[in-house]
């Protein structure tokens, strides 16, 4: 269905045409002066020169055409030539009814099936998830959901770092501690045990120990590199250990991503595309794209129009080893073959911007990907502490992701118990987990991705202001009014929206009507913060309306049913939006 601005502009264009002017002048925008009008059109000013007429005269003629318009209750010419507009209550009501009747409130799917791959999460196997992994997971999940809502086939891929030195380090430390393990016996030909020779807790201790040792001891580091090489060469015992590390680590990652309500369709990683590397590199050499530079194999990716230095994309290091960019290139190639995507969206720290610029250019230049496939990198900023510096634990360490989640949930629990003495601790805890997730995700997503923000538990968990709990509180309020209405014998199914009777009711309806415009922008710009800004405005509009309006106490039954219908629609829109952000609302809080 048409977006509200399109629908209104259509009426305005007709009026311009009927008054004898070019209909293209009839573009309507939101008002710059909300005190005077809801929408405005500046077409008369734009047309003045062309028609050699004072803008106010043109505006007056157009306004005349709109006197009996079903769309506008007011269309006034104002000096020097604006058209100040107010929507008719009937038109607005009809528009919302259509939104409600349509699937996805009228947001239209693309004409033909299109596929988007969202590459997000990006954890490194064997290392615990930390604060640095929060944003990719939260923003990526939301972008994936928004694209799905927009009617695309969307595949979310976690793209793990599962092929690097960290795997060799763990094996080296294991070998020091338990050299007798069968994995290290070169002449062993039997089956390896199904059970891993370590637990997740041990692994999380082994990795930092090994990493520290390798920094202090060159011989240890040499061993770790050799072990990494052995995994990559496919030495049986090493591969079996690699599988164990993967299983233990992935099980734990799933548990934490689950807490974040983040779900991946593909659990691929750097290891997934190893089988493609040799041929890909060969192809780049044969095609004349790759050349040697200081012993390394590189592809030049700078372009004449560049205003900054873009270094060549390195394909192989001088020792012949593949790099991060090599696996990313092979991954692009694999995705093209397997899924034929129309676009790929990567969500990482913005400090990786140059890496993706090089990889994207290289993929196009070497024809791994056609011109028609869009490659997008969404780079996010840093999570800071309240002091504006990267967020650290009290002792200066990197905070673990799981701990951040627990801290927020605990604070939420404290706040809920404080305000709801009637609630059992058990119920409060369940609710705190739901609201805590909203606090965490909204706290992150309400910021433009590229900007840094400060992780402020106290602010994020507040029931007031631009926060997740405030949004949920509003939804819960609506749910409880609707429940009361039903308890008193009302049914929600056959209530009908009716035209607004108060300014606050109209303001609420106008916010709802903006949904499609907002969604299109959130999708095309990969911008979940637009969904946040929208629901914050919508929640405010609802709460203003709620404070000024009798709902349950309304005596006129027909009027009451109309108000209830508006509540139902408001709740549906809010719940749809929070689902797109990746969290949900409890029934009470
Ligand atoms: N593992 C990488 C890191 O820790 C992130 C992976 C992002 N995705 C990608 N296709 N490169 O930085």
Q: Which among 17, 38, 18 has a CA at the least distance from the CA of 28?
A: 38
pTM for this prediction: 0.96
Minimal-distance CA residue to ligand 1 atom 5 = 122
Counting residues of the chain whose pLDDT is more than 90, the rounded percentage is 96
Structure tokens at 332: 């692009």
Structure tokens at 447: 């910021």
Domain boundaries, the chain: 4-87, 165-259, 269-380
Quickly state the pLDDT bin for 180 (edges 50, 70, 90): very high
Q: Is the pLDDT of residue 87 over 90?
A: yes
pLDDT given at position 493: 86
Read off the pLDDT of residues 215-259 as tens digits, 9 standing for 90 and up: 999 999 999 999 999 998 899 999 999 999 999 999 999 999 999
At 154, which helix (H) or strand (E)? strand 153-157
Q: Are 579 and 145 in contact (CB under 8 A)?
A: yes
Mean predicted lDDT score pLDDT of the chain: 96
Which CATH code fits 4-87? Answer: 3.30.1360.70
Q: Which class does domain 269-380 fall in?
A: alpha beta
Return the minimum-mean-pLDDT range out of 134-143, 323-332, 364-373, 387-396: 387-396
- Count the neighbouring beta carbons within 10 Å of the beta carbon of residue 222: 12
Quickly state the pLDDT bin for 396 (edges 50, 70, 90): confident
Whole-angstrom distance, CA of residue 252 vs CA of residue 566: 44
Quickly state the pLDDT bin for 164 (edges 50, 70, 90): confident
**Cis peptide before 428, with omega less than 30 degrees from 0?**
no
pLDDT given at position 200: 92
DSSP category for residue 124 = B
267 Cα to the center of ligand 1, angstroms: 13
91 Cα to the center of ligand 1, angstroms: 49
140 Cα to the center of ligand 1, angstroms: 13
Ligand 1: which atom is nearest the Cα of residue 349?
Answer: 12
pLDDT given at position 104: 97
Q: Is the pLDDT of residue 393 over 90?
A: no
Report the b/e string of 79-111 with b at 16+ CB within 10 A: eebbbbbbbebebbbbbbeebbeeebbbbeeee
Minimal-distance CA residue to ligand 1 atom 2 = 122
Task: Give the DSSP letter string of 182-247.
Answer: GGG-TT--SPPPSS-SS-HHHHHHHHHHHHHHHHH-HHHHHHHHHHHHHHHHT-HHHHHHHHHHHH
**In sequence order, what E strands does 283-434 have?**
290-293, 296-299, 313-316, 343-349, 374-380, 383-384
Whole-angstrom distance, CA of residue 126 vs CA of residue 271: 14
147 Cα to the center of ligand 1, angstroms: 21
Read off the pLDDT of residues 57-76 as tens digits, 9 standing for 90 and up: 999 999 999 999 999 999 99
360 Cα to the center of ligand 1, angstroms: 14
Structure tokens at 85: 């507009």
Ligand 1: which atom is nearest the Cα of residue 132?
Answer: 4
Q: Are 237 and 286 in contact (CB under 8 A)?
A: no
Q: Is the CB of 124 under 6 A from ligand 1?
A: yes
pLDDT given at position 51: 96
Ligand 1, residues 160, 335, 348: which to mutate, most atoms within 8 A of Cβ?
348
What does the pLDDT average to over 359-381? 97
Whole-angstrom distance, CA of residue 508 vs CA of residue 260: 31
Distance of CA 351 to the CA centre of its chain: 18
Q: Is the CB of 121 under 6 A from ligand 1?
A: no
Read off the pLDDT of residues 491-548 as tens digits, 9 standing for 90 and up: 998 899 999 999 999 999 999 999 999 999 999 999 999 999 999 999 999 999 999 9
Quickly state the pLDDT bin for 187 (edges 50, 70, 90): very high
pLDDT given at position 468: 98
Whole-angstrom distance, CA of residue 143 vs CA of residue 22: 39
Helix 134-149 to helix 528-548 angle (10° resolution) is 70
Read off the pLDDT of residues 106-137 as tens digits, 9 standing for 90 and up: 999 999 999 999 999 999 998 999 999 999 99
Q: Which among 63, 70, 67 has a CA at the least distance from the CA of 40?
A: 63
136 Cα to the center of ligand 1, angstroms: 10
Read off the pLDDT of residues 16-45 as tens digits, 9 standing for 90 and up: 999 999 999 999 999 999 999 999 999 999
Counting residues of the chain whose pLDDT is more than 70, the rounded percentage is 100
Read off the pLDDT of residues 406-443 as tens digits, 9 standing for 90 and up: 999 999 999 999 998 899 999 999 999 999 999 999 99
pLDDT given at position 436: 98
Distances (CA, A) of 310 to 306, 357, 378: 8, 8, 19
Report the b/e string of 50-76 with b at 16+ CB within 10 A: eeeeebbebbbbbbebbeebebbbbbb
Distances (CA, A) of 38 to 56, 433, 460, 501, 515: 19, 40, 32, 16, 16
pLDDT given at position 519: 97
Whole-angstrom distance, CA of residue 476 vs CA of residue 434: 12
Q: Is the CB of 157 under 6 A from ligand 1?
A: no
Greatest Cα-to-Cα distance within the chain, rounded to the nearest angstrom: 96
Q: Which among 437, 490, 425, 481 has a CA at the least distance from the CA of 461?
A: 437
pLDDT given at position 355: 98
Q: Are 560 and 513 in contact (CB under 8 A)?
A: no
Q: Is the pLDDT of residue 265 over 90?
A: yes
Domains 4-87 and 269-380 share a fold: no
Q: Is the pLDDT of residue 399 over 90?
A: yes
């Amino acid at each position: 269905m048409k977006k509200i601005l399109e629908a209104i502009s259509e009426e305005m264009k007709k009026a311009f045409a009927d008054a004898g002017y070019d209909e293209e002048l009839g573009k309507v925008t939101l008002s710059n002066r909300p005190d005077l009008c809801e929408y405005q059109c500046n077409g008369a000013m734009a047309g003045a020169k062309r028609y050699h007429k004072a803008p106010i005269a043109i505006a007056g003629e157009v306004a005349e055409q709109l006197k009996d318009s079903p769309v506008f209750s007011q269309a006034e010419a104002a000096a020097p030539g604006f058209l100040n507009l107010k929507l008719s209550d009937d038109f607005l009501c009809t528009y919302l009814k259509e939104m409600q009747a349509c699937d996805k409130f009228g947001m239209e799917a693309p004409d033909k099936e299109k596929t988007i791959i969202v590459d997000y999460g990006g954890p490194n196997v064997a290392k615990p998830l930390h604060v640095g992994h929060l944003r990719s997971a939260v923003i990526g999940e939301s972008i994936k959901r928004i694209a799905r809502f927009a009617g695309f086939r969307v595949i979310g891929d976690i793209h793990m770092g599962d092929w690097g030195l960290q795997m060799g380090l763990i094996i080296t430390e294991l070998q020091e501690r338990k050299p007798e393990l069968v994995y290290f016996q070169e002449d062993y030909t039997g089956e390896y045990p199904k059970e891993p020779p370590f637990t997740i807790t041990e692994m999380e201790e082994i990795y930092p120990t090994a990493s520290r040792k390798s920094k202090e001891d060159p011989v240890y580091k040499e061993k770790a590199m050799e072990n990494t090489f052995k995994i990559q060469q496919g030495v049986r015992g090493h591969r079996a250990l690699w599988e164990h590390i993967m299983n233990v680590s992935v099980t734990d990652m799933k548990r934490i991503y689950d807490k974040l309500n983040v779900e991946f369709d593909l659990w691929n990683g750097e290891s997934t595309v190893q089988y493609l590397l040799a041929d890909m590199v060969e192809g780049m050499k044969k095609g004349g794209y790759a050349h040697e530079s200081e012993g390394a194999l590189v592809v030049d990716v700078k372009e004449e129009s560049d205003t900054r230095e873009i270094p060549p994309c390195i394909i192989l290091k001088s020792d012949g080893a593949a790099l991060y960019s090599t696996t990313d290139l092979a991954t692009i190639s694999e995705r093209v073959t397997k899924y034929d995507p129309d676009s790929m969206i990567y969500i990482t720290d913005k400090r990786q911007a140059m890496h993706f610029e090089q990889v994207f250019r290289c993929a196009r230049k070497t024809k791994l990907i056609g011109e028609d496939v869009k490659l997008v990198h969404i780079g996010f900023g840093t999570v800071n502490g309240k002091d504006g510096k990267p967020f650290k634990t009290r002792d200066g360490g990197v905070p673990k992701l799981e701990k951040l989640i627990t801290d927020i949930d605990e604070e939420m629990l404290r706040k809920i118990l404080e305000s709801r003495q009637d609630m059992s601790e058990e119920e409060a805890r369940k609710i705190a987990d739901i609201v805590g997730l909203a606090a965490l995700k909204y706290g992150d997503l309400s910021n433009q991705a590229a900007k840094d923000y400060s992780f402020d538990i106290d602010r994020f968990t507040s029931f007031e202001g631009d926060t997740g709990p405030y949004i949920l509180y509003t939804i819960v309020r609506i749910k409880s009014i609707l429940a009361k209405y039903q308890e008193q014998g009302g049914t929600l199914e056959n209530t009908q929206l009716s035209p607004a009777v108060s300014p606050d009711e109209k303001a609420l309806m106008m916010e709802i009507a903006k949904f499609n415009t907002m969604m299109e922008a959130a999708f095309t710009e990969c911008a979940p913060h637009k969904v946040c800004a929208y629901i914050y405005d919508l929640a405010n509009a609802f709460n203003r309306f709620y404070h000024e309006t009798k709902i349950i106490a309304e005596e006129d039954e027909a009027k009451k049913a109309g108000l209830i219908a508006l509540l139902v629609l408001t709740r549906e829109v809010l719940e749809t939006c929070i689902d797109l952000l990746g969290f949900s609302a409890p029934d009470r809080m």
